[in-house]
Each structure stands twice: as structure tokens, then as C-alpha cells.
Structure 1
Amino acid sequence: MSFKSIVRELREMGDGIGSLSRRGIEGRHWRNRTRSHIAPDVAPLELINQGQWANLPPELLLDIIRRVEESETSWPARTVVVYCASVCKSWRDITKEIVKTPEECGRLTFPISLKQPGPRDSPIQCYIRRDRATSTHRLYFGLTPSEDESDKLLLAAKKIRRATSTEFAISLVADDFSRASSTYVGKLRSNFLGTKFTIYDSQPPTDTTNHNRSSQRFQKKQVSPKLPSCSYSIATISYELNVLRTRGPRRMNCTMHSIPISSIQEGGTAPTPKSFPFKTIDRSTSSLSSTTTPNSNPLDSLMLKNKAPRWHEQLQCWCLNFKGRVTVASVKNFQLVAAVDSSHNVSAVEQEKVILQFGKIGKDIFTMDYRYPLSAYQAFAICLSSFDTKPACE
């Protein structure tokens, strides 16, 4: 049943609830700048007077939102679920209770979905659009770009060149990459040669509070009391040097510090954050630091490696089976699988499963398909590392 039909039924019940217009709900909490993105899963302010919509019987409210959630399966119709969560606190609590994680339902709804592991059975399919003029990369939800360019923007990254490294600042919006912004989610940083990258997250992958502080992030800058003031190293990406200049694709390895190897074992689970942090920070400790991840033992971390391609004699090129999702040959194309040894109890099926694949389909257009245990943010950051120049690896 569509959302409009449900609203029509409510009107006929004569409860005096009123009309639930999309404009009225959206205007309550959101700004025009964020309408093209996934709306926040936590309202910035709690309203004292929530209005008559909050007076619906809990059983009726639960039934309404459940029917809406089941009927709106993909974007842009998925925005209706977000609108329900923005009505008032009672609606938001019920909606967050009903909406499942991407691992469970294969859907992206709230921003925190981008930090949660993808589905186990089938990948979530996205694409990346590169803008050379502005040095930005945008991740969209969908198979391929639509003609009217109305696809759902998930994440955006801006490339920043520094004297000794390259950084990609990653945000929920495409026009604000400041680390002081509430839309900032993390960054990717390279070494001088562009052969090693570190992925940083603005929030810890778990609720653990024991972290080792290593280097300053905010020095004398004032920190907003509602923003997290730490960066957490959650993964490293290494590209093998090609000293002999042998032909072949790039070879890469990823160490996911925040994901244990047990996550891909039978009965294993990956860290799944429930919400973005909105904790008050003492201004006397505003000069906080970047921190390391709780899982600092590399032997316990999930290792990913690029799947070895085969040489095609007729085409005279290296080939991988992307199942139609990649159509243009490029040194950037890759597939990642788990790198495990016999000491780990991981099935052969899990070892062969492609966790992340990335490839070119047109000028400045690339597909990105990811699945459990990676999140959209982690997958996007790994793919961004492929855009940096690597003369020593090719």
C-alpha cells in the first residue's frame, strides 16, 4: 500500500489528525541543502510541543510505519520512510525500531546505514562520478547514472593535495568538506609515494572508549560541543611496488583494523554502529587527538586482497568476471576477496566471495558494488585510493 493511501485512510478515520503533506514534514527539520541526501537519523532538536501527530495510539502508529516501510523499498520512494521519522519523537523512535540494517534488509535508509555492513547474500550496487574540475568524487545509489541526474547521493569526497601526501575528505553532502561540520564522516590519507593509504573514521567502530591518542587533530581550533573531536584509524591500504615494470594490473592489500577476521567465519558478526555520536565535549579538552582503532592486532583483523585476473590471449589483456558491471578496461578495475590462511576457520565459499568490486563504465563514471562485512563508507574510501596517481605501482 502506498503512503498516500495510508494517509487517505487516516483522514477517513476522523481522528482530526490532519493532512500529512511532504512539504510540511520536510520543512520541519531539514534544509534545502540536504534534501538531495539521506536525511539524518537523529533530529537536531527535540520539539517541546510535538503536535497532534504524536497523539496517535502506539499500535496504530506501529502499523502505519510498518506498512510504509514495507511498501517503499528503494529510492527515491524511500524518502517517505525518512519523512515519517522526521514528524516527531514518537514517530522517529518507532521508525528507527522498524527499519533494519543493510545487512538484514539490503536497504539504505538513514545516514548511519552508510557506516553499517552491507548485505551478506547480494551486493549493494552503486556508482561513482568523478569531477576533474573540482577534484570531487560522488557516490550514488543505483546501477548506472539516470538521465535526469536524480540519483540518490550517498557520499562525496574532495581530493586535497598536500606537500607530502594526498587527502580525500569524505562528507554526507557535496558542498561541505570541513572537519568541523556535522556532515563530515572521515578521510583517506596517502603517503608520499601514493602506495599506502590510511582510512580514518570520525567515530569509533564500536562503543569502546579505551583508545590510544597518538597525534593532534584539532590544535587551537575551537570544537563544536556537539561534534566528535577524534579521528579513528580503521583500515590501511597498500599497493605493491612494481620495480621491474612487469605488465599486469595493480596489486593491493587492505587491512581492515575495525573488522575482525571472525566476522566472515560461521556465526561471526561485524561492528555495526547504531547512530552518529552527538555527545557533548568538554571545551577544556578541545585539543584532542587522532586515535587508533580498538582492534590493533593485525592477526585478528580482516585482510582483503585483489582477486588475481587471468590473461586473455585473444584480447591481449587481463580479465576478471565483473558480471557485466564493468565495461571499460582500466588499471583501476579490481575485485577484493578475503585473504585467509589455513589457521582460520573460513569456508571456501567465503574465501571466493567478492566483497568489493570497482570498475570503469565510461568517462569519469565507475561502478562500486559492496557487501558484508564492508560498509558503504569503507568501500568508498578503498575505491578512492585507486584514483590517486601511482607511477611506482604500474
Structure 2
Amino acid sequence: MKWGYGSRSRSRHSSVVAVAEAEEAPEGSQFGDEGLRQSCWNNMPVELLREVLLKIEESEAKWPMRKSVVACAGMCSSWREIMKEAVQTPEASAKITFPISVKQPGPRDSLMQCFIKRNQSSQTYHLYLSLTQALADDGKFLLAARKYRRTTCTDYIISLQVDDMSKGSGTYIGKLRSNFLGTKFTVYDASLPHAGAKMVKSRSTKLVALKQIAPRVPVSNYEVAHISYELNVLGARGPRRMHCVMDSIPASAIKPGGVAPTQTDFPASNNDSFSTIPFSRSKSASMEKSLSGPLESQTEGALVLRNKSPRWHEQLQCWCLNFHGRVTVASVKNFQLVASPENGVSGPEHEKVILQFGKVAKDVFTMDFRYPLSAFQAFAICLSSFDTKIACE
């Protein structure tokens, strides 16, 4: 149970542990409920057990040590419930522990440091959580994406697993789709991001990654963000200009005391192992239960982000942005996103960098994000920067 929540996989590329029911263990095994009933842990008072598990959670600040937190959560349902209470969201703890953490907003007071590794031959992109201050360490794997070229668009399928990019699998969590010119993108979430989200129907017989989507797996896509790049019709050289509308995040989220919707569980359709959530024919009703935050605030208007304007450096003869040492290679892909003035913010909140992305090696890029963006949303936005833009440059 090195990296998996109910899994014995030891691959360093396995995703952040999946929230799942503990597997049935052989009779007498101390990894199952039956084994626990026969062990000394069964006689421990619940209050004392809670105290022990809380101490374990507090003592392990980062990966790979946090695998012990995951192992405890995989022991049985009672241990899992205690651990789910002890492990705070990234907003409060600045830690990513369970898979649902990649769908939750990042920390408010600091940037969560990650990096992306690109494999151009396989058209895949892997997102890692930085474990040290180095620009590219071994990292903790979070998400994977694969690029698929269509006749009129390009799709980036985003998954919790490296080796399963099928849209019909339980590890599929969303996708990014571009238009033909590569100037407009839409981010889709496989889970309901907020009340009233617009769902786009998908054909259940569509082939993705040479695997046919199983009819029993409901395939849903909810629009959560729209990204656009300004057309360069005159051919003038200069940095790209980005504009992001976060449909699933209210504009008030970046103001003091503002709150963004936070998913607390994956829907049952996301994975057969996520069986703790009952399936309901009314998908919206069942999924809304896994959300927290003032969903009615979505009517206030969506959060709008724009790229921070770089300045021209006379001595270097190039456009420059201050990435505070997190970016070392000049590239047209480099950007920093801040809140747009149309959100009604001013002062320090207006200049605070919410997402920054930049090149540090040939196929290595840093990705730092903060509240109210999640790792999934930030990753999707950064993937749009990789796509070829016929009319922008």
C-alpha cells in the first residue's frame, strides 16, 4: 500500500491516492475490518485512536512521508472517516493528499509549487507537486494529460493515472478542447463544479485512446472555464495576451472573505472504487451534495483572469516578468495570470499572481497556483499554452 489507497502498486508514477472502500482482506488479515476486530486496535477507545491518527497526520508535512496518512486511511472505513476529518483541504493546509485535492482550491496565502514534464514524442504531459525548492525534483505525481488532434479541434484528456487516458475510465476527470486556430479553449470537468453548471453531452460510443467507453459509465462534461488568446492579425512580435473566464468560480472569491465552490468527493460514476457515494438517477442532486461553499454566488458573475503585462527590458532587449526565480528560460509560453479589473478589485488584490507558468528546461515547466484555482483548473489553463496557435504568432 505504498502509493495506493487500497492498492499495492509501487510505481512512482501512480497518482495521488484514490479515495476508495478498503478492499476485502483474507480472513485473519490485519488490513481488513475482520482483521482489525481480532487485533489490539479493536480495544483502543475511539478518542485515543483519533488522537493517534491526528498526531500521524500532523507529523507528516509533505510527500513521500504522507503515504503513511494514506495507509492509515486505507485500513478500514472508521479509520478512513477519521483521516478525512483530520486532513484539511489545500486551501487551509497547502497540502495535497487525496485525489479530490486536485479539484479543490489551492492555498490563499502562498503559491503551491508544481511542475509539468512534457513528452513530445508521446504527446503527454505530467503534473507533479514539487517536494523541494529545486526547480525540478522527483516530485509527487498528480495528473496526466494526452493530446489528441481532431479534424477541427484539439483535445487534451486529463486523467488521474498515467497509463489510463480513456475518457470512459474511472480516472478521467476532465479535458481541454481548442478551436481550429488554437485561439479559444474550453475546460470541461467530469464532475458537477457548481449548481446550474452547463453540461455538454458526449457520445457514449466514441473511441478515446483506442478504448471504447463502457455504456454503464455515465460520461459528463461541464464547462468550467473559457480561455482565449488575442489574435495577432498584424504579425507584430510580442508576448501573448490571455483572457480566462472561470465559469465555476464567482468573482467574489478573490475578495477578502470570498469563497469558491469546493468539491469534497468524487461522484460515484468517476470510479467503481468510489462506492462510498450512492448513485442517483438525479445526477445534479447527488453531485451537489459533494460540494461545499455558497453555490448561489455563481449568479454574481464569473471570475475573469488576464495575463500580467510584461515590461520591455532595454539591456536584455526582451519582454520580462518577475517570476521570483521560478522561471529561467525565455519562452512565448511563459505567463502570469492576475484578476482582471472587471472583477471590481483594486490595490494589492489586483496585482496578486493567481497562476504563473514558465519554462526551466527543454521539456520542464513550473506551474505555481493559489486560491481560488485548483490544480486541475491550473493544469488545464497551462495546457492551452502548449497548443499551436496559428493566428497568434
| Shift in alpha-carbon separation, 1:373–1:211, aligned structure 2, 3 A | closer
Say which SS state the counterpart of residue 264 (structure 2) adopts. Answer: coil
Q: Is the 8 A contact 1:112 1:275 kept in 2?
A: yes
Say which SS state the counterpart of residue 393 (structure 1) adopts. Answer: coil
Which residue, out of 57, 60, 64, partners 1:69? 57
Matched, 1:360 2:389: no
Query: Alignment length, in residue pairs?
Result: 355
CA distance in 2 between partners of 1:222 and 1:252 (Å)? 34
The answer to which of 118-127 and 41-50 deviates more is: 41-50
| Shift in alpha-carbon separation, 1:211–1:363, aligned structure 2, 3 A | closer
CA distance in 1 between partners of 2:156 and 2:300 (Å)? 28
Q: Is the 8 A contact 1:223 1:229 kept in 2?
A: no
| Shift in alpha-carbon separation, 1:214–1:365, aligned structure 2, 3 A | closer
* Alpha-carbon RMSD: 2.6
**Offset of 1:211 from its aligned partner?**
5.3
CA distance in 2 between partners of 1:381 and 1:351 (Å)? 23
Say which SS state the counterpart of residue 259 (structure 2) adopts. Answer: coil
**Offset of 1:281 from its aligned partner?**
5.7
Matched, 1:215 2:201: yes
Q: Is the 8 A contact 1:198 1:235 kept in 2?
A: yes
CA distance in 2 between partners of 1:347 and 1:199 (Å)? 27
Q: Counterpart of 1:386 in structure 2: which amino acid?
A: S
| Shift in alpha-carbon separation, 1:216–1:348, aligned structure 2, 3 A | same
**Offset of 1:57 from its aligned partner?**
1.7
Residue of structure 2 in register with 1:89 after alignment: 77
Q: Is the 8 A contact 1:166 1:191 kept in 2?
A: yes
Q: Is the 8 A contact 2:200 2:220 kept in 1?
A: no
Which residue, out of 95, 98, 102, partners 2:90? 102
**Offset of 1:32 from its aligned partner?**
1.8
Residue of structure 1 in register with 2:385 after alignment: 386
| Shift in alpha-carbon separation, 1:273–1:254, aligned structure 2, 3 A | same
CA distance in 2 between partners of 1:379 and 1:301 (Å)? 16
**Offset of 1:262 from its aligned partner?**
0.9
1:206-247 deviations in Å (ceiling 9; x for gaps) = 3x3x5555533425876465x553111100100000011112
Say which SS state the counterpart of residue 341 (structure 2) adopts. Answer: coil
Q: Counterpart of 1:127 in structure 2: which amino acid?
A: F
| Shift in alpha-carbon separation, 1:228–1:295, aligned structure 2, 3 A | farther
Q: Is the 8 A contact 1:258 1:295 kept in 2?
A: no
Percentage identity across paired residues of the two chains: 56
Which residue, out of 5, 15, 19, partners 1:41? 19
Residue of structure 1 in register with 2:126 after alignment: 138
1:98-148 deviations in Å (ceiling 9; x for gaps) = 1000000111100011000000101110110000111100001114333xx
| Shift in alpha-carbon separation, 1:228–1:347, aligned structure 2, 3 A | farther
Q: Counterpart of 2:364 in structure 1: which amino acid?
A: I
Q: Is the 8 A contact 1:139 1:155 kept in 2?
A: yes
Say which SS state the counterpart of residue 126 (structure 1) adopts. Answer: strand
| Shift in alpha-carbon separation, 1:380–1:212, aligned structure 2, 3 A | closer
Say which SS state the counterpart of residue 391 (structure 1) adopts. Answer: coil
1:129-169 deviations in Å (ceiling 9; x for gaps) = 000111100001114333xx4x2100010011111111100
CA distance in 2 between partners of 1:162 and 1:379 (Å)? 23
Which residue, out of 235, 239, 244, partners 1:249? 239
| Shift in alpha-carbon separation, 1:72–1:214, aligned structure 2, 3 A | closer
CA distance in 1 between partners of 2:261 and 2:353 (Å)? 20
Which residue, out of 140, 151, 157, partners 1:163? 151
Residue of structure 2 in register with 1:310 after alignment: 311
Say which SS state the counterpart of residue 141 (structure 2) adopts. Answer: strand
Match runs of 1:222-237 below 5 Å: 223=214, 225=216, 227-237=217-227
The answer to which of 50-59 and 180-189 deviates more is: 50-59
Q: Counterpart of 1:88 in structure 2: which amino acid?
A: C
Q: Counterpart of 1:218 in structure 2: which amino acid?
A: S
**Offset of 1:193 from its aligned partner?**
0.5
| Shift in alpha-carbon separation, 1:33–1:258, aligned structure 2, 3 A | farther
Q: Counterpart of 1:393 in structure 2: which amino acid?
A: C
CA distance in 2 between partners of 1:72 and 1:275 (Å)? 23
CA distance in 2 between partners of 1:141 and 1:27 (Å)? 17
Q: Is the 8 A contact 1:228 1:277 kept in 2?
A: no
Say which SS state the counterpart of residue 70 (structure 1) adopts. Answer: helix
CA distance in 1 between partners of 2:299 and 2:364 (Å)? 34
**Offset of 1:61 from its aligned partner?**
1.2
CA distance in 2 between partners of 1:282 and 1:193 (Å)? 40
**Offset of 1:182 from its aligned partner?**
1.1
| Shift in alpha-carbon separation, 1:89–1:335, aligned structure 2, 3 A | same
| Shift in alpha-carbon separation, 1:374–1:297, aligned structure 2, 3 A | closer
CA distance in 2 between partners of 1:132 and 1:235 (Å)? 26
Q: Counterpart of 2:149 in structure 1: which amino acid?
A: R
CA distance in 1 between partners of 2:85 and 2:298 (Å)? 34
Say which SS state the counterpart of residue 304 (structure 1) adopts. Answer: strand
| Shift in alpha-carbon separation, 1:50–1:199, aligned structure 2, 3 A | farther
